[in-house]
Amino acid sequence: MPKIIYILFFIISTNLPSAEQHYVNGIEELPLATDMINMPNSLIFFDTNEGKFIQTKIFGKKSITFVKNFYNDILPNLGWKLRENNKFYRKSEFLEIHYYMIEKNLVVEFNIKPK
């Protein structure tokens, strides 16, 4: 019986997703678009009296259109309102998203700053 419990625990624990794999680093509520991953060492985070300054990047082999549509669809569900192309706001924050290619990878840069 203890072996069965150990095996079940091992199977369950190895299949649990980690938060880092599913959300953009530094922006806990923002999910990663399909097949995109967090860029190592890209997170810059400052918390000041005025608010948070966050810059972080993700990358992958998806098209700009696919990823841009993903974030344009999901951000309003998280309280962000479109201000203009690739620029959003909510409460006391601005979010600007930059999309660019490096070799064959799409890089998406998220910048959050206080209003």
Q: What DSSP assignment string belongs to 13-71? A: HHHSPPHHHHB-TT-TT-BPPTTEEEPTT--EEEEETTEEEEEEEEEESS-HHHHHHHH
Instruction: Tell if the pTM clears 0.85, that is, is over it.
Output: no
Residue 12: band (very low, low, confident or very high) from pLDDT cuts 50, 70, 90 = very low
22 Cβ contact partners less than 8 Å away, ≥ 6 residues apart: 31, 32
Residue 6: band (very low, low, confident or very high) from pLDDT cuts 50, 70, 90 = very low
